[in-house]
Amino acid sequence: MGEAKALTGPELEQIEKIIADYKGQQWALIPLLHEIQRVFGFIPPPAIGPIASAMGLFPSQVQGVITFYSQFYTEPRGKNIVRVCRGTACHVRGGKTILKLVKQQLGIDEGETTPDFEYSLETVACIGCCALAPNIVVNRDIYGHMNPKKVAAVFHRDGGQ
């Protein structure tokens, strides 16, 4: 988990406001985390303390839940989320190379975010359209039958956004 950066006053206020709706309801930890992530794009580590005390949990427990689920994030993420499929069908069709190319294009490793916060890179196990393998997904759009040229095109086009 990243170094805890202090929250600004308004951010903290906003978090407190979200937490208030869930106070004392231990069952609601995960919906609460989703809500904070929806607003901030990630769960700022300094929010863990206030969340824990509102829920009657230990901060370590809240951190445990956040880090258990791969789709909760504790660091700011890029505007665009790139997911490269590493499922079996994509693997057979060269998914590994596609991943390498995407890394080169973006200049980051898996799980990282570009310094300008444009892109975050992840892998997924399968996105369910194996017929189009190898695939990558950018935000909610699927790009099938990827090859080096298309990879370059995707990021050339999206990179300008």
Partner 1 sequence: MEAITITLDGVAVSGYPGMTILELAQESGVEIPTLCHEPYLAPVGACRLCLVENEQSGALVVACATPIAPGMVIATHSPRVIERRRVIVQLLLASHPDSCLVCDKGNRCKLRQIAAELGVGLVELQRIPQAATIEEVNPFIERDLSKCILCAKCIRVDQELVVEGAIDYIGRGFASRPSTVNNTPLEQSECTFCGSCVAICPTGALMEKERAYGGTTSHSVDSVCPFCGCGCSISLEVKDNHLVRVIPGTASPVNRGTLCVRGSYGCDFVHSPERLTAPLVKVNGEFEPVSWEQALERVASEFNRIKEKHGADSLAVLGSSKCTNEENYLLQRLARAVIGTNNIDNGSRLYSSARRLGLERSAGIPATPNSIEDLEQAGVIMVIGADPTVSAPAVGYAIKRAVRYRGARLLLIDPRQTKLAQFANLWLRPRPGTDIALVNGLARVMIEEKLVDAKFSTGKTKGFTELVSSLKKYTPEYVAEVTGVPTQDVVLAARLFAGAESAAIVYGNGITQHVSGVDSILALTNIARLTGNISNGGGDIFALQRENNARGAGDMGSLPDFLPGYQGVDDAQARGKFEERWGVSPPDGSGLTALEMIEQADKGSLKAMLIVGENPTASFPDSALVKNALAALEFLVVADMFLTETARLAEVVLPAASFAEKEGTFTNFEGRVQKLNRAIEPIGDSRPDWAILLEMARYMGQPMPYSSLQEVRNEIDELVPKKTSVKPGLFIPVEYKPVSISGDGYPLTLLTGSVLPHFGSGTRSLRAWRLKKFSPAAWVEVSGGDAQRLGLADSDPVKVVSPVGEVTAAVRVTEALPQGMLFMPISFPESPVNDLWAAGVPDLKTCAVRLERMSADG
Q: Of the candidates 99, 86, 81, 84, which has an alpha carbon nearest to the alpha carbon of residue 139? A: 81
Scanning 5-13, 59-67, 100-108, 131-139 for contacts with partner 1 by CB under 8 A, the matching segment is 59-67
With CB under 8 A as the rule, give the number of residues binding partner 1. Answer: 16
Query: Which range binds partner 1 by CB under 8 A, 1-9, 19-27, 84-92, 98-106?
Result: 1-9
- 63 sits near partner 1 (criterion: CB under 8 A): yes
Of 84, 79, 49, residue with least CA distance to 63: 49
Residue partners of 18: CB distance under 8 A and separation at least 6: 32, 35, 36, 39
Task: Give the residue with the Cβ less far from partner 1, 63 or 80.
Answer: 63
Pick 61 or 97: Cβ nearer partner 1: 61
Q: Is 106 within 8 Å of 155 (Cβ atoms)? A: yes
Instruction: Output the smallest distance, CB 4 to partner 1, in A.
Output: 6
Q: Could you tell me which stretch among 52-60, 86-94, 123-131, 142-150 binds partner 1 (CB under 8 A)?
A: 52-60
| Shortest distance in whole angstroms from residue 56 CB to partner 1 | 7
Choice between 50 and 134, CB closer to partner 1: 50
The residue type at 66: I
**What is residue 64's DSSP assignment?**
H
Closest by CA position to 22, among listed 65, 64, 63, 53: 53
